[in-house]
Chain A
Amino acid sequence: MIGYIIRRVLIAIPVLAGVLVVVFLLVRLLPGEPCTALLGERATQEACDRFNEVNGLDRSIPVQLGIYAGNVATGDFGDSIRFSRPVSTILLERLPVTLELTIAALALAIAVGVPLGIVAARRHNSAVDIGAMTLANVGVSMPIFWLGLLLAYVFASMLRGTPLALPPSGRLTAGLRPEPFYQAWGMELSGNGIIAAGQRFVANMVTTNALLSAQWSVWWDSVKHLILPAITLATIPMSIIARMTRSSLLDVTQRDYIRTARAKGASERRVVRSHALRNAMLPVVTIIGLQLGGLLGGAVLTETVFGLAGIGTSLFDAIQARDFPIIQGFTLVIAATYVVVNLLVDISYGYLDPRVRIR
């Protein structure tokens, strides 16, 4: 097992390095100079030169890449050109929003997708099965930005004034300023180090922060703002998980050991719960891990539709403003998260299914 993990990690390292190089080069290929994007189209040559010198953009690309890689290794992503603030600080504000959204969506997708798949498989070819699979097929074929707009229309416009009404945008009702959980706990921000970063990160996860500091009205408000985006982002993974659970369970229930379990008189409930499900879940676990890439891409669309200040929208804004450090830093963090999660999925798969470890 350890050998398997080491092998997997060794494969992931060059991929991460490659991702860094690609991001760096891609950003350099973006049309337009950061200096004209920031200083305006009529910036003089001298102003641009000075700007490039200050930001280290006048050196050769390999040198820039080397310096950048070294900085990234120490957690320094540089300063945003547009906001003149460290990219890592901006990341601490934006990433929590995306993280909460993604986790809520994934949890929803699993909580609905797995039972739906199980019910569909147990009543194979029944109306329930056909209905569930039709839903799943439509779910994977739907543009999620369309679903988001539709949900916003239904819940914020058609149902306005009813108890079912939900807010169509933002993370909290405007004007609401929740207290950070560490202050509620009577603590201070501990300096500027990694602990303080962690504190701020958690405090920026609005729902979690409200939960930790027992601000229930804020918590409920943040949950209400999270429901529509989470449903929107969850639809595709939910459909995929439901389909996978169903087909995997159907496949497993045809195996000999299930027939054996039935033959020895186990109840149907027991057969499904302790024999079939356990094995059927293997491919489902993999498919859940593989949803992350789609979730991160979908987060850009969902955040755009619902006006959330997550990494998706800020990355998009940064690209339009040619804010190189933000584009680089954010893309890198997204891609690195993706690579690392895929690595964890590989490892967990090796743990669950020993056959994978060989080779």
Chain B
Amino acid sequence: MTQRPDAIPAIPDPHDVPAAEVMLDRPASVWRIAMRRFFRRKLGVAGLVLVGFMVLVAILAPVLAPYPYDVDFIGEPGAARWGPPCVHVLGCETTQHLMGLDGNVRDVFSRLLYGARVSLPLGFSTVLVAILVGAVIGAVSGYLGGWVDNILMRIMDVVLGFPSLILAIAIVFVLGPGIRNTLLAIAIVTIPQYARVMRASVLAIKEIDYVAASRALGASSWRILVTRVTPNALTPLVVLGTLGIAGAILEAAALGFLGLGAQPPLPEWGAMLAQERARVFTAPHLMIFPGLAIIITVLGFNLLGDGLRDALDPSLNE
């Protein structure tokens, strides 16, 4: 066959590209597209900014906070229990307390900043525990199927049969109040969500050709699970997990408010609110500021989670 000189430039044969390059290029571009899609949405970016801000506050708390969280100002001139905010710029002359003083004459602003060191790690680790356990249950359930699947999923149904806060309250009571048990209780009640997502991913992918190919090549079940199934479940788990952090922080605050979560003198925001509940009418600053801290943090994770879902879920592709 002769080649015509005036022919349209040949389309490069895709098979000419070395295999290794294809393999490397694909995943990178998928992530790049997701990133681009994420940063196009203002709300998701706003969430990222809020979360980043709170993470910074948590890291820099000792630097930013004017005082340690457990130091009291008893005897200090102008300092009194439940003292209102004293801001120098606004004309207050005594020692500056941006958000006032609490019932133990401690600086609320400092406690609030340190509170980020309680709530953020608590939210992260709760979700981490829940995802790890949930993913294992879901993977085993979906992969083995049969009676194992049936039993595990019925147990998950029972956990979901309770309103989550009620079950969490009961679990914390059994384990005893405190921050570690708050973590465990909230993790336990949220495990089914992650187990279901993992199981669905496993079921969806079990019969797909490349998994069958792996199996035909002699890969072990464990290897297939780790290298083929888990990456596919990662997207929904990341999205669900980000939203889960928001939920976990809220539930931890609720448990703290009921007196079951973090115990004094730990500056957990929900517990701070609870301790000064009776002062709502006389010292509202003790209630307003911790609440705002919770809202900013939870809102950040919620917006971030929504943004990630929009960016990562191709089914919502415009």
Chain A positions within 8 Å of B, measured between CB atoms, are 11, 14-16, 18-19, 22-23, 26, 29-31, 137-138, 140-143, 145-147, 149-150, 152-153, 156-157, 292-294, 296-298, 300-301, 304, 315-316, 319, 327, 331, 334-335, 338-339
The residue in chain B whose Cβ has the minimal distance to the Cβ of A140 is B302
Query: Which residues on B sit within 8 Å (CB–CB) of A143?
Result: 250, 253-254, 257, 270, 273, 291, 294-295, 298
A79 to chain B, nearest CB (A): 21
Best-surrounded residue of B163, B164, B171 (most CB of chain A within 10 A): B163
Bound-state Cα–Cα, A146 to B270, Å: 9
Contact of A331 among B157, B158, B166 (CB under 8 A): B166
Best-surrounded residue of A29, A145, A327 (most CB of chain B within 10 A): A145
Bound-state Cα–Cα, A334 to B257, Å: 21
The residue in chain B whose Cβ has the minimal distance to the Cβ of A292 is B163
A318 to chain B, nearest CB (A): 10
Query: Which residues on B sit within 8 Å (CB–CB) of A16?
Result: 161
A140-B302, A141-B295 known; A146 vs B163 contact (CB < 8 Å): no
A19-B161, A137-B303, A294-B163 known; A319 vs B273 contact (CB < 8 Å): no
Bound-state Cα–Cα, A312 to B69, Å: 33
B228 to chain A, nearest CB (A): 26
Contact B294 A146 (CB under 8 A): yes
Bound-state Cα–Cα, A338 to B162, Å: 7
Contact B287 A149 (CB under 8 A): yes
Contact B281 A319 (CB under 8 A): no
Contact B299 A137 (CB under 8 A): yes
Query: Which residues on B sit within 8 Å (CB–CB) of A334?
Result: 162-163, 166
Given contacts A141-B295, A146-B291, 15 further A-B contacts (CB under 8 A): A14-B154, A14-B157, A15-B157, A19-B158, A19-B162, A137-B302, A143-B250, A143-B254, A145-B257, A145-B273, A157-B284, A296-B166, A300-B258, A301-B254, A338-B162
The residue in chain B whose Cβ has the minimal distance to the Cβ of A315 is B166
Task: Decide if the interface of chain A is mainly helix, strand, loop or mixed.
Answer: helix
Bound-state Cα–Cα, A14 to B169, Å: 23
A236 to chain B, nearest CB (A): 9
B280 interfacial contact with A, CB 8 Å: yes
Nearest 3 CB-CB pairs, A to B? A297-B165, A18-B158, A146-B291
Interface flags for B151-190 (1: CB within 8 Å of A; 0: not) read 0001101100111111001110110100000000000000
Contact A138 B299 (CB under 8 A): yes
Best-surrounded residue of B270, B273, B291 (most CB of chain A within 10 A): B291
The residue in chain B whose Cβ has the minimal distance to the Cβ of A301 is B254
B60 interfacial contact with A, CB 8 Å: no
Number of A-B residue pairs with CB-CB distance less than 8 Å in the complex they form: 129
Bound-state Cα–Cα, A147 to B254, Å: 12
Contact B166 A30 (CB under 8 A): no
B246 interfacial contact with A, CB 8 Å: yes
The residue in chain B whose Cβ has the minimal distance to the Cβ of A18 is B158
Could you jot down 19 A-B contacts, CB within 8 Å? A14-B154, A15-B154, A16-B161, A18-B154, A19-B158, A137-B299, A137-B303, A138-B299, A141-B299, A143-B257, A149-B280, A157-B280, A292-B163, A297-B165, A297-B166, A300-B258, A316-B258, A334-B162, A335-B163
A18-B155, A153-B284 known; A141 vs B161 contact (CB < 8 Å): no
A105 to chain B, nearest CB (A): 14
Contact A300 B174 (CB under 8 A): no
Query: Which residues on B sit within 8 Å (CB–CB) of A316?
Result: 169, 258
Interface flags for B280-318 (1: CB within 8 Å of A; 0: not) read 110010011011001100110011000000000000000
Bound-state Cα–Cα, A151 to B174, Å: 33
